[in-house]
């Protein structure tokens, strides 16, 4: 007997008031639905089927998970109707676990407990007590046992007071589920086929229904509007930061950091306020991230200091580097050890070897810089001729004066010195001073023009 997982993701999400389908709204840098799929992947399922409809191909295109089955629900007639679309192809002998595509904070641990606590052939619904149950389906119990679910819009005054709600997660024997879905009507206030009606059908057929309570209500919150999306974002961020703090990462304020992807940290990493991490980021032992930094898809080595207000994307560094404040590392910036990148410096697709410094107001693009090089303030690698990009190479221990233009393709030899203000368009030899600028001249007897009297 296997496990089939059905994820409902066909709804429009009207309350989101957005052109983007609800299940594609971003949460911690990934579509809401991707979080549900990641959770499903942690369970050992025979098959995973996503019911899609509103947003059609957009949803399929955004979700790249291989091996999932897609079932189209062309018209959104309700959650029961949605599950029905996935039933052809779902084995009768399997247990079917229905998840909502808009409940993204659910953990695999909770679902594993639900699966373990429900004997084969029985049914289960994951519930939780909500301080404010408004909007959710209420769990109606009699003598302790679950009898049925009543939707908010169909509930009477006393049912509305029930705090125990349906999280949308239902576990059911496949064959039984098919039979009940086929019998289902839509005689309710919304004229929809409610999946929740299978509870009462199970009770009528003498199938035991277990109401299993989730431990915390944050985990099972459904996302229907932008306010709930923002609440879920905060709850998920708190969870991610908690995990990192348990691993020993220090945060100035756990509430003022955002992780939109995965953040891996070594020992004694410290992160100040308003740091945003996107994609896959790795920080080595002892690395410090000051306030207001954006770091995306980058790997920083040990004991690196990122000062405030940097934008770092697709970069790698060795250990003991110092970056910023106000530095920009773009894709392909590869710094070795003890490299310093100072304020208003942009580095793109360039390697900078050990101990080199680029401290002020500089653009380094398509360059290869050796060890112990000093690049003076205002230096520009002129890498683009308007059509093609060209390379600049700078040998070990070279010293580039301030305000130098390096017109690529060009190479600067080892130990070379380039005079300030030079525009270098031919290679400069090793060990020599190269200067390329007009000589300074003074004009004897020259006078400033005088203002003429106007009549
Ligand atoms: C549903 C439950 C409610 C529960 C709540 C938990 C029903 C009738 N109600 O209400 O008891 O407390 O979830 O969050 O099941 N969907 C489809 N096709 C459809 C309609 C919906 O795929 O025709 C999908 C939606 O994309 C969504 C999920 O099913 O991912 C839930 O639908 P939604 O309309 O949000 O249901 P709720 O009103 O929140
Ligand atoms: Ca919902």
* pLDDT (tens digit per residue) in 388-443: 999 999 999 999 999 999 999 999 999 999 999 999 999 999 999 999 999 999 99
pLDDT at 191: 96
248-255: average pLDDT? 98
- High-pLDDT (> 70) share of the chain, %: 100
Is residue 180 predicted with pLDDT exceeding 90? yes
Is residue 55 predicted with pLDDT exceeding 90? no
C-alpha to C-alpha distance for 423 and 401, rounded to whole angstroms: 11
pLDDT for 84-113, tens place per residue?
Answer: 999 999 999 999 999 999 999 999 999 999
Crossing angle of the two packed helices 79-86 and 174-183, in degrees rounded to 10: 130
- What is the three-state SS of the chain? CCEEEEEEECCCCHHHCCCCCHHHCEECCEEHHHHHHHHHHCCCCCEEEEEEECEHHHHHHHCCCCCCEEEECCCCCCHHHHHHHHCCCCCCCCEEEEEECCCCCCCHHHHHHHHHHCCCCCEEEEEEECCCCCCCCEEEEECCEEEEEECHHHCCHHHHCCCEEEEEEEEEEHHHHHHHHHHCCCCCCCCCCCCCHHHHHHHHCCCCEEEEECCCCCCCCCCCCHHHHHHHHHHHHHHHHHHHHHCCCEECCCCCEEEEEEEEECCCCEECCCEEEEEEEEECCCCEECCCEEEECCEECCCCEECCCCEEECCEECCCCEECCCCEECCCEEECCCCEEEEEEEEECEEECCCCEEEEEEEEECEEECCCCEECCCCEEECECCCCECCEEECCCCEECCCCEEECCEEECCCCEECCCCEECCCECCCCEECCCCCCCCCCCCCCCCCCCCC
Q: What is the mean pLDDT of the chain?
A: 96
pLDDT at 54: 84
Q: Which atom of ligand 1 is nearest to the CA of 9?
A: 26
Ligand 1 centroid vs 136 CA: distance in angstroms? 9
Is ligand 1 within 6 A of the CB of residue 78?
yes
Is residue 137 predicted with pLDDT exceeding 80? yes
pLDDT at 26: 97
C-alpha to C-alpha distance for 189 and 211, rounded to whole angstroms: 25
pLDDT for 189-232, tens place per residue?
Answer: 999 999 999 999 999 999 999 999 999 889 999 999 999 999 99
Q: Which ligand is nearest to the CA of 221?
A: 1
Is residue 376 predicted with pLDDT exceeding 80? yes
Q: Which atom of ligand 1 is nearest to the CA of 190?
A: 8
User: Taking the CB of residue 447, how many other CB atoms lie within 10 A of it?
Assistant: 6
C-alpha to C-alpha distance for 258 and 247, rounded to whole angstroms: 17
pLDDT at 12: 81
pLDDT at 412: 98
| Domains along the sequence of the chain with CATH | 3-220 (3.90.550.10), 226-434 (2.160.10.10)
pLDDT at 426: 97
Alpha-carbon torsion angle 168, 171, 173, 174, nearest 10: 50
Is position 35 annotated as part of the catalytic site?
Answer: no
Q: What is the band of 455 on the pLDDT scale with cuts at 50, 70, 90? A: confident
User: Taking the CB of residue 230, how many other CB atoms lie within 10 A of it?
Assistant: 12
pLDDT at 220: 94
pLDDT at 286: 98
Tokens 């229905």, residue located: 98
How far does Cα 285 stand from its chain's mean position?
23
Ligand 2 centroid vs 223 CA: distance in angstroms? 6
pLDDT at 57: 86
Q: Which residues, other chains included, contact 60 with Cβ-Cβ below 8 Å and sequence gap of 6+? A: 52, 70
Where does residue 17 rank: exposed (0-12), middle (13-18), buried (19+ CB within 10 A)? exposed
Is ligand 1 within 6 A of the CB of residue 77?
yes
69-97: average pLDDT? 96
pLDDT at 65: 85
Tokens 């189209």, residue located: 72
pLDDT at 66: 87
pLDDT at 64: 81
Ligand 1 centroid vs 2 CA: distance in angstroms? 25
pLDDT at 56: 80
Q: Which atom of ligand 1 is nearest to the CA of 8?
A: 22
Where does residue 183 rank: exposed (0-12), middle (13-18), buried (19+ CB within 10 A)? exposed
- pTM, two decimals, is 0.91
Annotated catalytic residue: which of 35, 307, 311, 360?
360
pLDDT at 331: 98
């Amino acid at each position: 007997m296997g496990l089939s997982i059905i994820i409902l993701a066909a709804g429009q999400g009207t309350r989101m008031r957005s052109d983007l389908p609800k299940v594609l709204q971003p949460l911690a840098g990934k579509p809401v639905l991707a979080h549900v799929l990641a959770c499903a992947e942690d369970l050992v399922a025979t098959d995973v089927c996503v019911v899609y409809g509103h947003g059609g191909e957009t949803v399929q295109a955004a979700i790249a998970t291989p091996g999932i089955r897609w079932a189209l629900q062309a018209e959104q007639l309700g959650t029961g109707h949605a599950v029905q679309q996935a039933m052809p192809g779902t084995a009768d002998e399997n247990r079917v676990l229905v998840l909502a595509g808009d409940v993204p904070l659910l953990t695999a641990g909770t679902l594993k407990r639900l699966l373990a606590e429900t004997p084969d052939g029985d049914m289960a619904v994951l519930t939780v007590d909500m301080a404010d149950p408004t909007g959710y389906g209420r769990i109606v119990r009699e003598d302790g046992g679950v009898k049925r679910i009543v939707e908010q819009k169909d509930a009477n005054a006393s049912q509305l007071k029930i705090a125990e709600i349906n999280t949308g997660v239902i576990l059911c024997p496949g064959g039984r589920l098919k039979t009940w879905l086929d019998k289902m009507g839509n005689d309710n206030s919304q004229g929809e086929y409610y999946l929740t009606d299978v509870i009462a059908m199970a009770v009528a057929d003498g199938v035991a229904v277990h109401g299993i309570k989730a431990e915390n209500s944050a985990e099972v919150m459904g996302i229907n509007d932008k306010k709930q999306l923002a609440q879920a974002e905060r709850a998920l961020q708190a969870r991610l930061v908690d995990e990192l703090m348990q691993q020993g990462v220090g945060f100035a304020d756990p509430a003022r950091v955002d992780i939109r992807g995965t953040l891996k940290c070594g020992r004694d990493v410290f992160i100040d306020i308003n740091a945003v991490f996107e994609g896959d980021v790795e920080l080595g032992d002892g690395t410090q991230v000051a306030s207001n930094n954006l770091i995306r898809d980058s790997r920083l080595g040990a004991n690196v200091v990122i000062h405030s207000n940097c934008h770092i994307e697709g970069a790698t560094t060795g250990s003991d580097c110092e970056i910023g404040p106000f530095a920009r590392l773009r894709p392909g910036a590869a710094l070795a050890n003890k490299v310093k990148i100072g304020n208003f410096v942009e580095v793109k697709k360039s390697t900078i070897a050990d101990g080199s410094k680029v401290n002020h107001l500089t653009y380094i693009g398509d360059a290869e810089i050796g060890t112990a090089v000093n690049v003076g303030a205002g230096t520009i690698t002129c890498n683009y001729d308007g059509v093609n990009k060209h390379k600049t190479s700078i040998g070990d221990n070279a010293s580039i004066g301030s305000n130098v233009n390096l017109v690529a393709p060009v190479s600067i030899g080892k130990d070379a010195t380039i005079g300030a203000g030079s525009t270098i368009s031919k290679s400069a030899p090793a060990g020599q001073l190269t200067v390329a600028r007009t000589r300074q001249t003074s004009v004897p007897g020259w006078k400033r023009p005088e203002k003429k009297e106007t009549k």
